[in-house]
Structures are given as C-alpha cells and as structure tokens.
Structure 1
C-alpha cells in the first residue's frame, strides 16, 4: 500500500525495486564514480576548490585535481552528485530515449548525469549515459575551450583482460608524496573502469569552466620548450605527472597551512571601499597560501594573494578573479596564476635539452621614453602579453615589466620568440635556429627579427634594431 504523496514504485519479483536497485551493477558503478568525486573533493581545503588549481593539477598532480567551489561561499564544499541514487520512478521510464538523450541528460552536470540519472532510469539510463555520452561531452568542452589537439583522453579501454578494471593510464611514475588514488567499485588501488576514468576527465574539464580557455597558449609554449612528454601533443589526461623540467616533475603541492591564518585575517579585515560588502566575500574564498612546483633543487614557491591583501587603488583589484587570483613569486606580483605560469615557461623553464633559447637583442631605450611606455602598458593587437610588477623596496619603487609573445602560441608553430621589457630595456629571446654564415641579425634569425621589426616599427622604435 502506497503512502499518500509518495511516488509509486514498481515491484519486482523478490521484493521492492528500491532494495534491488541499490545492488545493481549500474548502481554499484555509480557509487564508485561518486566515491572518486567525493573522496577527492573532501580531501581539499576550501581554497583548493579554486578552478585554476584543478586545471593545473589535471596536467601535473593528482593531489589537487577535480575540485570545485560551490556557490562561491568560502569554507563550503557541497557534496557533488547524490551519494545514494533514489529509487526508480515510473515517469523516468516513460520518457522516449531520444528525449532523455537529446534534452534531459545534456542539461545535467556530468556528476549528476552519471551518479543520478544513469542509475535512476532502468530503461534508458545505462544505455544512454555510457562511454559514448561522456566522450561527446568531453569533445564539447575541448572544442569550446580551444583545447582540441592540445588535450585529450584515452579513448579506448585496455581490453587485454576483460575481467579486470582498466587502469587509469600514466605517462610517468608518480611522486612518493602523491596520495593513493581512490578505488572504484569492484576495483582496487589505482585501477578504475574506463567509464570512471572518462567521467573524471569530463568532470575536470567541466568544472574548470572558462579558466581552461587560458591554457592553450601555455600548453603550446610548454610543448615548444619540451616540458611535455616525448609523445608530444595532445596531452592525455592521466591525473599523474605530465609536465617535467630537466627530469623534475612539475607537480603542484601545498607548502603548509600556516599562511592560511594570515590570509583569513586579510579577508576578514574589510575596509568598506566597495560599500557594505566585506572583503572576505569579495576575496571569493582566496587566502594567502603558499604552494610549490617541483621538488628538491628544482622547486619554485609562490603564494596566492587575496583581494584584501592588495592596496585600495592597486590595478589588480579591478581585474581580480578568485578562480585565477594574483600570485606573488620571487619579488614579482602577477595579476593571475595563468600569467605567472606562462612566465615560468619562458623565464625559468627554458634550459631543457634541445630547446636552445638564446638572447638575440638587448637594447636600452629608457624608461621615460613615451614610445616605450606605450609598448609597456597598452594592449597590443595580435599578440599575447604577460604583465607583472617587480615589487621594489619602499613606496613607489614598484616597476612594471612585460613579455610580448611574438611566436609560439598558434597551432603548428614550432619555435618561440618574445620581447622582454624591463628597466627601460627591450630584449628579444627566441628558440629559432640560427642560420650560419651570416652576421646581420635579420639574416641569422629571419623569423624572429621580422616579427620584432614589424612590432617596433608600429611603435616608432625600429631605430633600436642594429643594421
């Protein structure tokens, strides 16, 4: 007998369908995927839910992968999906398959489609929310964020042992500091089903959101500077270490928890500049937290900067994005994590074997030159710029610096060239192979010098180029 107001549930031979549904292969599989989502999220602090960490972690270390901030509330992480799928409802099975496939399921986040909709519909769920469904969702995100050809997933499962779950693929050995990957239902250790692996990849792409759009330039530069695996592009998402520099994994890890308290003080202080809203809310959950990339002799530390940690009139307050916050590293302040990580490729990680970057031009102009100042501060059509500030000692001693990428960010480009503007100088660096037998720069480095001359001519600075 049904209780009034409770949805009717179809009976099956041997008892209530709800009990039966809890132990079906599809439900067990959904529980396994749910465990992969929730275990990873629950292991993080609230700040690590920021999306840029998920993006870089997907390319470096499993430790910080697959995080998402929920509702933008600092200190709150809502469980992803449903830990226990509800019993099947009559109406779910009454929808035509094409409506479920083309209307209902595409509107759901991937975690809800896999962990809720997949097991709830006995007639269509497991047939429609399958590997093909997840791969189509992955392709949509790759295309939307211009990552097609730069990032991909393992498209086929390991069929050498059909009875065993498919291991999540790895391109290199994991660091001893990495936590063990959560196991899927029916599997153990690092082994997960191919469907679970695809779901994880889709989850990372989906919850990285628009931040993924910032990464095509970085990935192409990383490939030119040989930080990517020898297999080249696309990078296959493995949730292991993909980027390496001189044999050192560029894994991202937290240094300690101590600085979080200082960040919280900044966030709670509030100066009322933007009305009644407190600084803590405007910080979006970002605290002053230190991180490390690399290990041992080759490691680089940086810290995130909450909005409340910037002076009231600082230009980075206007562009502040809690999902891609400012970074302080080695006396420099960057407007975003993506600006910081791009500079790291060009300025720190350029000595990989086979790269052969060289300084071609080093010409003084003078910081007071109006033409130089416009090149340093104004937008430059057709070129990606990386802006940052060198924080000098004392008030008013900060100095703006800029990298202007001339070559290396478009599909098919195999060399890099960029200008470095600092202290009134303009320097040109390039990985272009020199043409021997020539003394003039325009003959030895025809591509890099042609691009440089074109840009400097537009800014009335071509006279600094040696003839």
Structure 2
C-alpha cells in the first residue's frame, strides 16, 4: 500500500517524520522508495539538526563523497545492521563492511548520532566554541564528525551520550600538538590530555548529596582525583578547555577580584543558583571533597561563563567563585588607555559581568569595592 502514496507526500511529509533507522528499513524493504532516500536527503536532514541545535559552522559532517571509498548506492555495514535490527529485533549489530564505509553509510551514522544525542549536541556546541576562542582547534571550525568507529549502536552507547558525542570530535581539539581526544585508560578511567577522570554513577552519591538532584545519565558526574564535577560537560569546560589556554596563545587576564563572606546569602545564591538564563551565562561547577563524597566540609567552586559559548561571541570571559572570593577573568584585550575606567577597557566583558552580579545584588561589592590585581 505504501507504494500507492505519491512520492511528493513521502518526500515532504512522511520521510521527515521518520527516525533514521526507520528510513533505512524502508529503503531496504521498498525498491520504490529506495530511490527517494539519497545522500542528498540525508544531508538535508543533517542540516536541519545542525540548525536546530545551533551547530551550523561549529560542527559539521564530511560532505565530500569522494573522501569515502565505496559505492554510495550500496548500504554500509552500519546501514545493514540497523536494517536488520529493525526487521529482526533480536539480532545483534555487526559491522561486516566497516573497512568499506560508503559516503551514504557515513551520513547515516552521522544522522543516527545526531538523533541519539538530541539536545546534548547544543551543549557540546557551546564547549566547542569556547575551545575555538581559546585556540584549541588549530584547524578552526567547524569540527567534522568522525564516525568510522561506530560499527554498531553499542559502540555509541558504550559511554554516556555526552562523552560519546565528544569522542566524535575531540581528536580535533589539541593543546601544543597534544590531542585532547577522550580515550580509555586503566581501571575504568578515561583521559583527556594529561587529565584522568572516571564516571561517578548516581548510586555512589549519598542520598543527601546536592549533585543527585541534577544528575543526568547522559552527562554524568565525573571524579578527577580530589575534585568532583557534577557532569562531564562541567569537567570538560573547567579543566582541559579553561585551564590550558594561557599556554595555547590565549591569555586569560584577571581584571578584578573581591572578597565576599563565604556565608553571605547573596554569594551562596550565586554559587548554587540553578536557574541562570543563558542570556546571562552558563555555569560549570566543581567540588573539592578530597575524594570523599561524605566529607563534612566540601568546598564548592563555580565558573559563570558569560562569553565565549555563543555563536556570535569573540572573547571568552568568566567569573570564578572560590570560598567567598569572586574573580573576573577575560581574554578581551584592553581597548583604552591606562587612565580609562574598566568599562572603557573591557567594553564587551564588563556589561556581561555586571548583569550577573546585579541579579545577585553583588554589583556594588565587586565593581566598586573590588580590587584590581597588582
């Protein structure tokens, strides 16, 4: 009966509503519809996903068919295994032609991971833009998805979604020639550059631990020695991306710092607020608990990144909270003479910092009573 439906209706209404696995199952079972399911159609869908998650110009696919050997009219191993998994749900995925990945098959894999990653892709896009501003992407943007290793769905699902996404692009992020790709290490740990970390399952967190309420299986808590990060994204942002730029040709300058009482309610709200809008900035937390989830006196730290993650940002700027101290840091070059005010020196960063501080009634304490580093 499906062959009686006009091709235009299939192309404009039905196919766009199907997930990629269903599209490939249709291609495999209907010769009449196979002609409609082309590499061009897949690219259209990929562009839709990239646009939806603000990834255009940040992350992309390889659009050069000649870059992948093989006959693009033949399904790759991944296409075949997805088809088989849908037609016979009990079959395990295999990769019998992984060494001959076609361009069509490559696009299928890219579309699959875009679907599986969902909104997490948008968050990763922010981290990628921050890395680019910090000059950790030597070939510039966009980063191209690498999916050759995904010869089964299990290969993508073997790590939490956000980590799986980073594995597709992280090898293009480098520091002094060293790859910042996510790779497995001994005893269940992972490494990014010189940093080692491990996933902390939700079950390990004590019942009253603050990270339980925000825990996401797709972006889990990460242990790095004596430090605990509430998510892989927070670890990635505050460690490899924000700690190394000074050695990569980008200088983060501390513009101002202020001492606020650690127990001041305003400071506590700033350090713990979970409802900050992206218009103000994005937060990345870390907890110094000495490696003990049950420690009686952990020290909570927070970055509020106010610039560097949006598609239009040209500088990176953040606020750093540490035991009652608030520091303002930026890569923005001073735009005025020595005698000029900080607002004149840093016309991009200052308004963003002020907006965050004003919301928590801390603008006066930091901007007017804070000190410039000597």
Residue 27 of structure 1 corresponds to none
State whether residues 225 and 352 of structure 1, in contact with CA within 8 Å, keep that contact through their aligned partners in structure 2.
no
More helix by share: 2
Q: 2:307 pairs with 391, 394, 407, which one?
A: 407
Count of residues in Structure 1 that have an aligned counterpart in Structure 2: 322
**Contact 1:366/1:372 (8 A) holds in 2:** yes
Q: Match of 2:119, SS?
A: helix
Query: Offset at 1:301?
Result: 0.8
Relative distance call for 1:122 and 1:395 in structure 2 (3 A) is: closer
- Post-superposition Cα deviations, 1:412-446, rounded to whole Å, max 9, x if no partner, equal 21111111000111111111113474155614334
Find the aligned partners of 2:68 and 2:232 in 1 and give their Cα distance: 41
Select the structure of larger CA radius of gyration: 1
2:114 to 205, 209, 234: 205
From 163, 177, 184, the equivalent of 1:247 is: 177
Q: How does 1:267-306 map to 2 (within 5 A)?
A: 289-294=188-193, 299-306=194-201
Aligned residue for 2:90?
Answer: none
Flag the 1:329–1:440 CA change in 2: closer, same or farther, 3 A.
farther
Tell me: CA distance 1:124–1:455, structure 2 relative to 1, closer, same or farther (3 Å). closer
Q: C-alpha displacement at 1:401, in angstroms?
A: 1.0
Question: Could you say what secondary structure the match of 1:106 adopts?
Answer: helix
Task: Verify: 1:215 aligned to 2:113, yes or no.
Answer: no
Q: 1:117 to 1:399 in 2, by over 3 A?
A: same
Q: Which residue of 1 aligns with 2:157?
A: none
After TM superposition, the score normalised by the length of structure 2 is 0.76
Taking structure 1 as reference, are residues 184 and 112 closer, same or farther at Cα in structure 2, changes over 3 Å only?
A: farther
1:148 corresponding residue in structure 2: 56
Contact persistence 1:227–1:352 (CA under 8 A): no
- CA offsets, 1:7-48, max 9 Å, x none? xxxxxxxxxxxxxxxxxxxxxxxxxxxxxxxxxxxxxxxxxx
Q: Secondary structure of 1:321's partner?
A: coil
2:363 corresponds to 1:465: no
Q: Specify whether residues 160 and 128 from structure 1 end up closer, same or farther in structure 2 by C-alpha distance, changes over 3 A only.
A: closer
The residue number in structure 1 matching 2:230 is 335
Aligned equivalents of 1:405, 1:439: Cα separation in 2: 27
Deviation at 1:465, TM superposition (A): 3.0
Confirm or deny: 8 A CA contact 1:183 1:192 kept in the other structure. Answer: no
Q: Does 1:447 align with 2:310?
A: no
Tell me the residue number matched to 2:165: none
- Whether the 8 Å CA contact 1:418–1:430 is kept in 2: the answer is yes
* Contact 1:385 1:402 survives alignment (8 Å): yes
Q: Deviations over 1:202-236 (max 9, x none)?
A: 11111112322322321210110112242x22222
Q: How far apart are residue 366 of structure 1 and its match?
A: 2.5
Does the Cα contact within 8 Å between 1:453 and 1:465 map onto a contact in 2?
no
TM superposition score normalised by structure 1: 0.62
**For the aligned residues, what is the CA RMSD?**
3.0
